Structure 1
Amino acid sequence: MDMQYVYTKKRSEFGRQVYFTDRAVEITADIQPNPELLHDYIPRNPVDTGTQNVREFSEHWVNTVRFETEHRGVNHVEGGWPKDVNPLEPDQTTRFRKKTEKEDGYGRAVVSLGQSIAHTIKQNNAIDIYENYFQNIEADVVEEAPFAKTINIYRDPHSTRRTANHISWNADGARKIAVSYCNLEFQSASNDAYIDSYIWDIENPTKPDFYLKPISPLVCVEFNPKDAHQLVGGCYNGQVCIFDTRKGSTAVEQSLIENSHRDPAYKTIWLQSKSGTEFFSASTDGKVLWWDTKKLSEPVDTLILDIEKKGRLENALGAMTLEYEPTIPTKFMVGTEQGRIISCNRKGKNDAEKIGTVFPGHWGPVYALQRHPYFTKTFLSVGDWTVRIWSEELRDDCIMWTKPSMHALTDAQWSPIRGSIFYTTKMDGTLDVWDILFKQNEPTLSIQVVDEPLHCLRVQETHGRLVACGSQNGTLTLVEVSDNLCTQGKSEKGLVSGMFDRETRRAKVLEARGRAKRDARGKAGAPGEKGEKTTTEGQAEESELKEGDPIEKAEKDFWKIIEEEKRRRERKALGDDKGAGEGGAMAQAEQAVHPTA
């Protein structure tokens, strides 16, 4: 629609009206120049000046073309790929590019786009818009101490105090957090009083953004990395359920109770697949179950965690946590209630082939297990009072560990940005930040988040700046760390890789020496005829003591002196009146019964 406005003004306001008539030309004055007046002035170069003989008025009207705006929405998460193409799969993206290049309109579209950006390319060639004009000036960089601050606190709106057991960040940005609430204390009150869990908006700590209403309290909950509206939850009664925020608060799908776990489903993880509908769960009943959201009535596959590889459920180890790296889709790891860590391969034909390396782990349950984001052969685990860092190349011992803490550790996670940093939570409400390149005996930063035990944490994976911590009374605290804790240096990745390689080699050398000692000790401890050591065994023991640990050698010498003193006192108690032959026989018998260490 064209819009115009005409400004009007009375004729009387323009001044006296001018009338023009035609008449002959006449001379009204004729003044001749006076040459004497020329001496009173200084001549200068001619100057041309334009003048306007009428007054200028600002009143005018214009009619411009109306500018129309239009709002369009597009899901531009990974380069604008179609929904059925996973940008993380190279074969799918390559196939899609080849298919697009073969289309008829592809060439014409490229030509038209090329014409539109030709001017921009010419400008870029003429002017370097990224030129650094201050590259030779050294700025004064001040290395500040690491710090962290609390951004928001999200409290459970229900009066019943429940533990925040698990946290999951939405894959579509860092704006929403899903938290599962459940009381897992032994012989605690009934879990049927209030069973809702929530999705929080980080900008609104006063009220949950969305309610999750399961059939049983949620022990864990995870966002689908391919669909930001879909979540999977593990329930206290062993069932697994699927939520869709577009279809309401109740679960849209749930597994049958007879085909589910017999204990709480402590962990659920989405699998890397083309459809994005597969996930697996673990429980302390000793089973790992694979599911597909298209058919949730029964599991797709089952694994019994029997490390003896006999498939007996009564000998299975209870699973407390799972670890799955999307870049290694066939492998996963299980942290058990008995402290063992089991490395598994899903491509095995039976349970014996699926169960691989078993790591000794911890003295108590394994509460956290995660591979390093950059070096997948290295992973950390949390149990009892320590954090242990393992290498897949070693199965008998870890390569690094923290000293025992005064308070039990509950969770840990690597920083997604910096390869040398990991976070831990403790029962005293403290969040610790460890930098293994800086120091290994104590954390780089300790933050007293709350005055109650912390049970879980999760770091936002996009920039690694936000850390969410869940406490025993259901309080979710969002902590922001400083820039130096989420900015990786140029050589940091190489230094971390060198540290892991060095510690792995050291552990291999120690393991080989320990194995050689055990073999030598086994050979030296084998009895010969008449209970006496052979000459070869004595030489083996002597060489072992010479090359072995000085403490172990001193211990053997100590017990040898003790045995000799015992025999001397026994001979003295029997008396010296017996014959030399009888005394010699007794000494020989004692030597057989009490061999020298």
Structure 2
Amino acid sequence: MSLTYTYFKMRKGFGRQPMFCMVKPEMVDNIMPDEAEQKKYCLRNPVNQESQAVLSQSQQEINTTRVVLTDTGINHLEGGWPKDIHFDDEETTSRYRRRIERDESYVDAIMHLTPKFEHYIDQNNAINMYDLFYKNMPSEDPVEKPIIRINNVFRDRQCRPTSSIGWTCEEDSKLVVSYCDKVFPINTPSRNTDLVGYLWNVELPSSPVDEFLPPVACWQVVCSPVSAPILLGGLEDGRVCIFDLRSGNSPQDISPEHIAHRDPVSALLYINSRLNNEFFSASTDGVCMWWDVRNISKPTEAMIMSVFSPIVNEYDLANAQPITTLQFDKAFPTRFLCGTDTGLVVNVNRKGKSHNEVMSAVFKAHYGPVKALHRNPSISKMFITCGDWRVNVWSDEIISTPIIPGQPQKYQINDVIWAPHRASSYMSVSADGRLRYWDFLRKYREPIVISRLSQHPLLKIKAHDNGQMIAVGDKKGVMYLVQLSDILVYSGNKDKPRMIQTYERETRREHLLETKIKEIRLKLTKTEDVGVEAPPIDEITEDFTSVESEYKRIVDEEVRNMGPGRTLSSSQLEKVKQEVRKR
């Protein structure tokens, strides 16, 4: 049977050949606009039109026929044989195999596949695919861009300022937030009418999972380190209270008014103890009080921050320094840091016997109130403060000046914290609504990441223990849950030793400067004792004026000698300075 068919057709049966060429445009018709129809319409300006860029979708449910699926398998032990040959019969299979091997197509196929098989066999013998060829090469950390990303936003319906933030101590940590306007209620009624605080689930920003209701505005809130439902509150009238969310949103216990602080509670912290049932509070009345959770009817101990008074045990608030913030580190069980409203930071020893032992060190940290105070979690002798427009890093060994002074910012710094797992990094929030992340090992004088979170001033910042989640609250009651990239959370193997070297270097430099200043003061004291009068200020001013005029004259003369349009190089300026020194 033939698979081809041949037929013939004349050329004239294909039709006429088309011939295309370029021609000029030709007017076929012209339709003029109808003015009567045009008058029926008018121009609208502006035009508001709503549009939806997302495709419209619909959902419907139907009952379809159930498809039953089954899993079946096969055990293939022998190659494919024709139907008339059974693979168990050796005589039949060998006879069929010999017949196939005598076929010319089988021989050609084998000869054609032989070079490919030899190539693959040689390639497999040359390369050991199970060997680790680069196992001795040192691994390098991936380069990652530092990123600050907003995960969730929690909004207060009444737009109250955020007063305090805390994290509960549980596997699925929750955020505890108190809201109030921190204005001293002196001879005026309090502005805070809505007193409720919220407990937020980090994955459900729509509504709080629980709430607590203090009797007055809550300035400070602290979570228990052992029990998640237990909260401590520092109130506007100076009292402290305990909440147990398992039994309701009202306080379970509250301290009496006659032994409470005279001003609102400005600081509240747990103390590291065996049962984790001790905490202490402070206020701008200048008193620190220690409490026991099991009985807050009276404080276990009280101390007046009379920094410049030799009398410690006498309860005289005339010389007390108003306290704005506290800091306690378990590395120093009997010591704590106290920030005051006058810009001082006091290193206090509870077990001291004399005034100098109790107030062991006084740091003149800021010109205004100390708003935040935290010790470095990796280097316990180093702590950070913020106030006015600066963030300063201090050492317990240097009292006179900070070892790393911060640059003055354009907006006030409201809060600052160390990064939990990086010894060289800290975060600050300011009145311009920006979160800044600083790292001394990368950029010494400027932040490495700046994120604009809000249009309103940011007031509080609190980091989770894992270091990756950061809670930031602003003045309008909006709390931002921020996630940091891994490069901002975890430190390298050499970061902590390098930061320790930086700390030691800056501490040594400040020690040398202090020694030099003491020598200069000692020389001035000896000069005054001998009776040698120092030159008057007028003569010193005249000397500086004459030197400055001489310097300007020589520079102008050099510029004139060089001709118009020329400037002095650095080497020429140095020659001029040397000539002025000689004269």
Does 1:448 pair with 2:448? no
* CA distance 1:557–1:215, change in 2 (3 Å): same
The CA deviation at 1:272 is: 1.1
1:558 deviates by 2.5
> What corresponds to 1:558 in structure 2?
541
SS of structure 2 residue aligned to 1:432? strand
Q: Distance in 2 between matches of 1:436 and 1:299?
A: 41
3-state DSSP of counterpart to 1:252: strand
Q: Deviations along 1:37-57, whole A, 9 cap, x unmatched? A: x99985999xxxxxxxxxxxx
**Cα deviation, residue 192, structure 1:** 4.5
Rate the CA distance shift 1:450–1:251 in 2: closer, same or farther, 3 A.
same
Q: Distance in 1 between matches of 2:232 and 2:297?
A: 15
Do structure 1's residue 223 and structure 2's residue 206 form an aligned pair?
no
Summarize deviations over 1:298-346 as a string: whole Å, max 9, x none: 1111110011232431111100000001232111000000000000112
Structure 1 position 556, deviation (Å) = 7.0
Report deviation, 1:489. 0.4
Per-residue CA shift, 1:52-105, capped at 9, x if unaligned? xxxxxxxxxxxxxxxxxxxxxxxxxxxxxxxxxxxxxxxxxxxxxxxxxxxxxx
Shift of 1:397: 1.0
Q: Secondary structure at the match of 2:511?
A: helix
Unaligned runs of 5+ in 1: 1-37, 46-130, 542-552, 564-597
Distance 1:250 1:556, change over 3 A: farther
- 1:320-469 alignment runs, 5 A limit: 320-349=324-353, 353-461=357-465, 463-469=466-472
Distance 1:520 1:432, change over 3 A: same
Taking structure 2 as the reference length, the TM-score comes to 0.67
1:504 partner SS: helix
Asked if the contact 2:243–2:250 (Cα under 8 Å) also holds between the matched residues in 1, the reply is yes
- Which residue of structure 1 aligns with residue 476 of structure 2? 473
Contact 1:191 1:217 in 2 (8 A): no
Distance 1:177 1:508, change over 3 A: same
Deviations 1:413-434 (A, max 9, x none): 1011111110000001110000
Structure 1 SS opposite 2:274: coil
- Structure 2 counterpart of 1:519, from 499, 512, 522: 522
Alignment of 1:197-216 (within 5 A): 197-216=197-216
CA distance in 1, matches of 2:94, 2:379: 92
**What amino acid maps onto 1:338 in structure 2?**
T
Select 2:168's aligned residue among 167, 170, 174. Answer: 170
Residue 497 of structure 1: aligned partner = 500
2:492 partner amino acid: G
Distance change (3 Å), C-alpha of 1:494 and 1:315: same
Provide the rounded CA distance (Å) in 1 between the counterparts of 2:274 and 2:419: 27
Q: How high is the TM-score relative to the length of structure 1? A: 0.66
Q: Structure 1 residues 390, 269: closer, same or farther in 2, change over 3 A? A: same
Indicate how the Cα distance of structure 1 residues 561 and 267 shifts in structure 2: closer, same or farther if over 3 A, else same. closer
Find the aligned partners of 2:296 and 2:92 in 1 and give their Cα distance: 113
Residues 199-240 of structure 1: CA deviation (Å, up to 9, x unaligned): 111111111111111111111111111222211111111100
Separation in 2 of the partners of 1:320 and 1:132?
A: 60
Cα deviations across residues 498-532 of structure 1 (Å, max 9, x unaligned)?
0000000001101111111122122223473xxxx
Query: Structure 1's 39 and 381: CA in aligned 2 closer, same or farther, altered over 3 A?
Result: closer
The residue that corresponds to 1:110 in the other structure is none
Separation in structure 1 between the aligned mates of residue 153 and residue 92 of structure 2, nearest angstrom: 92
Amino acid at match of 1:149: R
CA drift at 1:143: 1.7
3-state secondary structure, aligned to 1:338:
coil
Shift of 1:280: 0.1
2:267 is aligned with what amino acid? K
Alignment partner of 2:250: what SS?
Answer: coil
SS of residue paired to 2:207: coil
For the residues of structure 1 that align with 2:539 and 2:511, how far apart are their CA atoms?
26
Change (3 A) 1:381 1:249: same
Q: Is the 8 A contact 1:238 1:263 kept in 2?
A: yes
Structure 1 CA distance, aligned partners of 2:500 and 2:460?
A: 28
Superimposed CA distance per residue, residues 482-501 of structure 1 (whole angstroms, 9 cap, x where no aligned partner):
11101210111100000000
Give how far 1:557 is off.
3.2
- Of the three residues 168, 182, 185, the one matched with 1:184 is 182
Distance 2:217 2:364 in 1: 32
- Deviation readout 1:442-488 (Å, 9 max, x if unpaired): 11111101000001101111x21111001111111001011110121
SS at match of 1:150: strand
Partner of 1:84: none
Aligned length: 418
- For 1:258 and 1:514, the matched residues in 2 are separated by 49
3-state SS of 1:525 partner = helix
Structure 2, unaligned runs of 5 or more: 1-90, 99-130, 547-583
Partner of 1:488: 491
In structure 2, what is the equivalent of residue 257 of structure 1?
Answer: 257
For 2:436, give the aligned amino acid: D
Q: Does 1:244 align with 2:244?
A: yes
1:121 paired residue number:
none
Percentage of matched positions with identical amino acids: 32
Would the aligned equivalents of 1:340 and 1:360 in 2 still touch at CA under 8 Å?
yes
Q: Give 1:132 shift.
A: 9.3
1 CA distance for matches of 2:216 and 2:332? 32
